[in-house]
Structures are given as C-alpha cells and as structure tokens.
Structure 1
Amino acid sequence: MADAQGQARRVGRIIRQARLSQKRSQAQVAAVIGYHQSKVSRLENGRGTEDTRVLREVARALDIPPHELGLAAVPAPHAPDYETEDMHRRTFLVTSIASLATPPTTTSVAYQDLVRALLPGPPAAATPDEASVAELGGRVADIRRLFYTCEYAELGRTLPPLLAALRRAAEDSPDAQTITGLLATAYQTSVSLLLKLGDIGHAWMAVGRAMAEGERCGDPVVLASSVRVHAHVLAREKHTTQAVTLVRHTAEQLMGSYDRRRPRYLAALGLMLLRGVTAASTAGDRAATQDFLTEAKSIARYVSLDRPDTWANFSSTNVELHAVSAAVSLGDAGVALETARPLMRRPIPVPERRAALWVDAARAYSQQGRLADGYRALRVAEGCAAQDIRRPAVRELVADMAARDHRRAVPELHHFGRQLGVPE
C-alpha cells in the first residue's frame, strides 16, 4: 500500500510539473480533457491516479510520455492527412473485427459492406423476394440480440443487407413510419457496434443517420433511442457537457406518468438516462450523475426488460450496473466494488451486461492497485462474452495493467495480454 501511495504521489508531481512548465491552469487542462478542474487537482495530489483512462487524456494534453505515468506506450499521432486517416481507420476496424471471427476475410468484406451501407446513395438493388414488414421487424430483433450476446462478428455480417432492405422498404412501403423506426434502430445498432470496436469516425456517420430517421419517424421511443447513441458518441469524444445537456433536454420532454406508459417507451427513456449517467460521471459531475440515476430508478419500478432477446435491455439491474460504472469513472473504486458485489452473485441474463460488470470491476481493482484481482475479473468477463473482452478499450486496460506490473508479480496478466494481441 505504501508503495502504491508513493507511486501515486510521483505521478501527481509529474503532472503538476508538466502543467506548470507550460504555464497552464488546472481549469485549462481540465477543459482540454473534458473533465472538471477538481479531477486535475485530485490527480496532482496523488488521488485517482489509477484511473488509466484519465491519465491517458492528461498525458496527451500535457505531452507527457505515457511510460512516465505508468502507462503502456501508444503510437504517436500522425500528421492530419485525412485520406490516410480514413484508410487507417478502415484498416484498423477490418483487423479488429477480423480478430473476433473466422474466417477473417469474410468479416473484412462484411465491414466494408457496413461502411458502404452508411454512405449516401441509393440502396442496393431489390431481390426477387422482398421481406414483409413483420419479417423486417424480426430481423431487427435479431441484430439487437446479436449485440446483447456480444456476437459482434455475426452482427457485422448481418447489418449491411438489413440496412439495404430497410432503406428499400422505406421508399415505397405503405407502413412508412414503422419501417423508418426499424431503420433508425438498425442505424443505432450500427453506432453501438462501431463504438465497441473503437471506430468513432464511422460511428458519427451512423449517428447522423439514426437521428435523421428517428426525427422522420416521429415516434418518441425511436427518437429517444437515437438521442441515446448520439450522447454515447459525444461522451466518447469527451464532449460530455453537450451529451449531458442533450440527454437532460430530451428527458424533460418525455418524463412523467410512468405508470401509464408502455414498456418500450419506458425502456427507451431509461436507457437514455443511463447514457446521461455515463456522460455525467465521465465529466466528474456527481450531481448530474445522481440525478440521472435517481430518475432511472424511478422508471425501473414500472418496467423490467432484462433478456437478450428484448428490443431494449432496461431494468433495475441495469441501473445498478451503471451505478458501478459511474463510481469507477468518478474514481470511487471502493464504492464501485461494494455496489458490484451483490450483482456478481445475481443472475444477469444479458451477456453484454454481465461482461460490463466484470470489466468495471477490473477497472476498480486496477484503481486500487490490485492487479491480480483485476486480472481475475477480466477472465470472468471473458467467460461471459469472449468477443467483448477483445475490443480495443479492454485491450488498452490490459496493456496499462501489465505496464504497471513492473515486477511481473502477476505473470498470468502478461500471458493474457499476449493472448489478446497486446504489445509488450
């Protein structure tokens, strides 16, 4: 423990010296990384320095070599050649999805098809046997199930032909509102998949599609779901204030009379509020985090959709899972683990949610310097959803944990990193 505290103070001194040498205030640095000034103050005082996600942002903002903060090295950013950036992004995603499935060549084609499906232009030519509205609804339910069960490779193959079929149907179907709502949901799922795989650029494109179709549909349930993924992308890009404002503004139009609302309405609103929890906690805004959690708990009294085959996965369990994640983001590792323990013993039927619980537990253990416990939590997460544990964000967590294990006291962690393709 004393060694961990000494390391935290050392990291804090490095951050403070770098900031002062650049003649920048804590508030200025906080604004760049998308957090409150108190977050930078805590880091400089040796508190919260185990939150590797925040440390990475600070390292980038102050141009501190990652290894000086106990982080794994990452490639240096290249010059802003946008054509090259787009090529690199596509190559990265092709490789990422390929690592999740067999055979990789099939998956690479599927990714290229997904990118094309998001681009402007007419949909692919119709096939002789076009699907009915009911069949299209069933296919949309299937992609939601694939996401919740973390079958990302299959989801990547399934989305492009479905998007094309929905776009064709939306052009001439007499049931245009229903088809448009299904199309918006398919775009929302595309956003979620792309974010899982770290492709923010194409996620923005899919968000634009989801928002446009959600507004065209006119259904508040569909629109709330599009706002949810929009807020997710905003928060991922550190535009947390805008994400919180977007969720809050939309929720104000939809809240109230929960006992008279249908389950889909409540689930969409609840999930949007939980995205507000994520954005607010990432920003270090404890008040807004608690407000969103409290309202989501109120909604969960009237609805419980807690299966991987549901249109939207929202329940009191999901609210508690987000409370764990929020505590980790706020640097309250002890609170996070205390909240997580009863959930670890509870059956959670949705693999994506089970895996998220154990990944958040691993982050909390890592914040406490308990790398062996963090490694074990990650292996449990792998058992819940093997493809989810191989996404870029988790691989980065493993890399940072391994980098901090200077004495290689947890050899299994380093072996696990090699299995995931994490560079040493």
Structure 2
Amino acid sequence: MANAHSEARRIGEEIRRARVLQGRSQTDVAAALGYHQSKLSRLEGGRGTEDIRVLRAVARELGIPPQRLGLAPAQDASATDPEADDMHRRTFLTASIAAIAAPNPPTTSHGHLVRALLPGPGPEGTGSPQDTADLYRRVGAALSLFHTCNYTELERTLPCLIADLRAASTGDRDAVSGLLATAYQTTTSLLLKQHDQGNAWLAVGRAMAEAERSGDPVVLASSVRVQAHVLVREKHTSEAVTLVRHTADQLTGSYDRRSPKYLAAVGLLLLRGMTAASIGGDRAATKEFLTEAKAVSQYVTLDRPDAWATFSPTNVALHELSALVAFGDAGLALQAARPLMRRHIPVPERRAALWVEAARAYSQQGRLADGYQALRIAETCAAQDIRRPDVRHLVADMAARDRRRTLPELHQFSRQLGVPA
C-alpha cells in the first residue's frame, strides 16, 4: 500500500513538473482536457492516478512520455477511440456497482411496488398502447409527485407506470429504457425515504440496467446518483464518493455547451457526492464537490416541482447547509440557513429539507424550542415528508432530551408521529 501511494505521488509530481515547465495553469490544462480544474489538482496530488485513460490524455496534452507515468506505449484503439473510452466508462461503472457491497435482503414489503421490481409477471398496466410522448408525460408526473412529497399517490402510481413501460412496444427502445430507468430511480428514492434499503437495492439495480441499455449519459448519471444514495444509507460512504467521483470526471466540463437537463444531472450527481463525503467526515472531498457543483449551477436553474431535475444555486446552498450539519458545525449551518429562509423555494421537498436541517442544527445547539418550531414549519411545506423515519427519529430524540418536559407541544408532536420519547 505504501509503495502504491509513493508511486501515485511520483506520477502526480511528473504531471505537475511538466505543466509548470510549460508555464500553464491547472485550469488551462484541465479545460483543454475537458475536465474541471479540481480533477487536475487531484492528479497532481497523487489521487485518481489509477485511471489509465485519463493519464494517457494528460500525457498527450503535456507531451509526457507514457512510460514516465507508468504507462505502456499506446498501441490499441482504446487509447484514442471515443467509443472504446465510453465502453470503458460503462464497464467500470457496472463492475463498481457489482463489487462495492452486497445488499441486505429486503426488509419491508410494499406489495404492488415490490412486485413491479421483480422478474416475471408483475402488476397489470393500463393494457392500452401508449406512445413515447405519453409515457414521457407520465414519468414526468411521477417525478412531480416525488418533488411535492405526495408519496402515497406516488406509490400507487409507480407499479402501473413500470408495467406499461416494460410492455411498451414503441420503436424507440433507447428512449423507453431511459424512461424506465427514471421510473426505477424514482422508486429507489421513494424506498429510501421509507428506509427500505433492501428493496432500494433491487430498484437501483433495475435502474442501472436500463440506464446501460439507453446509452444516455444523463440517465446514467442519474442512476449512479441514486446508487450512491443507497451506498450512503448502508454506510459505504467512501465507496459512494469513489463512484460519484469517477462518473463525474467523465461528464464535467464544457458547461456552456451542455443542455439544462445534462447540467442538472451532473450537478445533482456532484451534490450526492458532497453528501456522501460530508457524512463520511471528508472535508476536503466535500469542498471539492461543492466547488464543482457551484460551477455547474452558474449555467442552469431548474427549480420547479414539474422539472425532471431540481438543480439550481439554491439547491447547492441547501446541500452546503446539510454538509455543515453533518460535520456538527451548527452555528455555521444556521448562519447559512438564514438567507435561505427568506428565499422563495418552489419545490416543496426542498423547502421542507431547509427547515428539517435547521431543526437538526438547533437540536445540536440544544435549542429544542427553536428546533420544534422549525419542524412545524417543515410540516406546512410537506406534511408527508415529516413522517419519514429520519425526521421521526429526530423528533423522538429531541423529546427524549427534554427530560423536564418544558415543551409539552414537542411531546405531543412526537406522539402524533407515533414516536413518543
């Protein structure tokens, strides 16, 4: 292990030396390669040097003999063929997902929704032919249900939607695979809200398989994002960071020439990496993901409940707040929350998240009354979101700490949620 670290540092120093001798900045070289500046910074620091394709690109750009970076001379098509590079990326992702961790078995049954994820006959669909445009509209409606925290209706909607997507006989199979992957992604997110990691593993496996079939980098990035979310829930934070980091490195850069949907997918992926890093206690990685997410947010604002992805500078600020709470920096978190509390946030899930994170920060400071008030405001934003296990556990913890019962309304709220202290 020590030898590997030493070799990585040596390679990083070779790259740095070649760049400096040419009088070029990290930003200049990274832009020429189509990467973010932080990617080159990591390489020069001895991180990420295991990606042979990236090292070959750096060697070509800086005129470094491949052997000095531990590479054999390029003799095959994969060194210069974009399609081969894309296949390398997909293969890496598939292998990573299969090898990172074995999922726990499903622990909760959701009837029709779970049957829709299993092989073989599942719940019945509408039985009527539907074109791609109608399927696209229905998937968008399901996403809107998630963004507005209407989880009960979403769970009723998804099985029939998945059945119709699986039965679709339209000629545009790539598009249908992308829509089906999105439906599975939404299912994964819903199951994670309910703390059903077992069935979430099943759903995200389906999402990744359909994303691969679609060949769409936006769909692939979104599927990797929910995969990382499942990994974080299973406490595999470092693996989640690695998965997000590798995927994002293939997609970042040239933001001024990307579509809003592409940028939103990349931005949300970076925010998921930021969440994973902060939960894992990695401040450096958290800062890197935050910097890159802010760069993406300069080019796109999708901040509506009916958008396919809700990514904007506001969403970045909300995730920065969550990271501060994860690190236990309650004072800084509340300082970051105050301007957001005065900002219009159109998406109910995001509005509720702001006040829940504020409640966590207040709780960290022992300000239980303020925390309770924040939770009641969150309830007005998204009543169903307050009843998910994460928030119910927070309320139960706050009530348990009020040993003298100076806040009877907090204890009543706890009983209403079914989690008395």
- Match of 2:111, SS state, is helix
Provide the C-alpha distance between the structure 2 equivalents of 1:125 and 1:291, rounded to a whole number of angstroms: 46
Contact 1:191 1:229 in 2 (8 A): yes
* Pairing 1:231–2:234 present: no
Partner of 2:7: none
Change (3 A) 1:422 1:176: same
* Pairing 1:188–2:185 present: yes
Higher relative contact order (CA 8 A, sep 6+): 1
Partner of 1:36: none
* Pairing 1:176–2:173 present: yes
Provide the C-alpha distance between the structure 1 equivalents of 2:293 and 2:407, rounded to a whole number of angstroms: 39
* Pairing 1:241–2:238 present: yes
Provide the C-alpha distance between the structure 2 equivalents of 1:320 and 1:128, rounded to a whole number of angstroms: 44
* Pairing 1:144–2:143 present: yes
Change (3 A) 1:407 1:188: same
Q: CA deviation at 1:423?
A: 3.0
Runs of 4+ residues over 6 Å off in structure 1? none
- After TM superposition, the structure 1 = structure 2 runs for residues 25-424 of structure 1, keeping only pairs within 5 Å, are 89-90=108-109, 111-123=110-122, 127-169=126-168, 172-424=169-421
Counterpart AA for 1:355: A
Q: CA deviation at 1:173?
A: 2.3
- Match of 1:264, SS state, is helix
Q: Which moved more, 1:125-134 or 1:212-221?
A: 125-134
1:203-251 residue CA offsets vs partner (Å, 9 max, x unmatched): 0100100111111111000000000000001011110000000000000
Provide the C-alpha distance between the structure 2 equivalents of 1:263 and 1:222, rounded to a whole number of angstroms: 13
TM-score by length of 1: 0.73
Counterpart AA for 1:234: L
Counterpart AA for 1:156: E
Provide the C-alpha distance between the structure 2 equivalents of 1:193 and 1:377, rounded to a whole number of angstroms: 24
Q: CA deviation at 1:127?
A: 4.9
- After TM superposition, the structure 1 = structure 2 runs for residues 17-32 of structure 1, keeping only pairs within 5 Å, are none
Change (3 A) 1:177 1:401: same
Provide the C-alpha distance between the structure 2 equivalents of 1:320 and 1:384, rounded to a whole number of angstroms: 18
- Match of 2:344, SS state, is coil
Change (3 A) 1:287 1:168: same
Provide the C-alpha distance between the structure 1 equivalents of 2:125 and 2:155, rounded to a whole number of angstroms: 21
- Match of 1:89, SS state, is coil
Structure 1 segments unaligned to the other structure (5+ residues): 1-84, 91-110
Provide the C-alpha distance between the structure 1 equivalents of 2:120 and 2:225, rounded to a whole number of angstroms: 26
Change (3 A) 1:142 1:126: closer
Q: CA deviation at 1:123?
A: 4.9
Provide the C-alpha distance between the structure 1 equivalents of 2:122 and 2:115, rounded to a whole number of angstroms: 10
Contact 1:224 1:268 in 2 (8 A): yes
Provide the C-alpha distance between the structure 2 equivalents of 1:412 and 1:181, rounded to a whole number of angstroms: 47
Residue identity (%)? 70
Partner of 2:39: none
Counterpart AA for 1:256: G
Partner of 1:59: none
Contact 2:321 2:337 in 1 (8 A): yes
Structure 2 segments unaligned to the other structure (5+ residues): 1-104
Q: How many residues align?
A: 317
Q: CA deviation at 1:126?
A: 6.4
Provide the C-alpha distance between the structure 2 equivalents of 1:383 and 1:125, rounded to a whole number of angstroms: 35
Contact 1:146 1:155 in 2 (8 A): yes
Contact 2:126 2:160 in 1 (8 A): no
Q: Please, what is the CA RMSD of the aligned residues?
A: 1.2
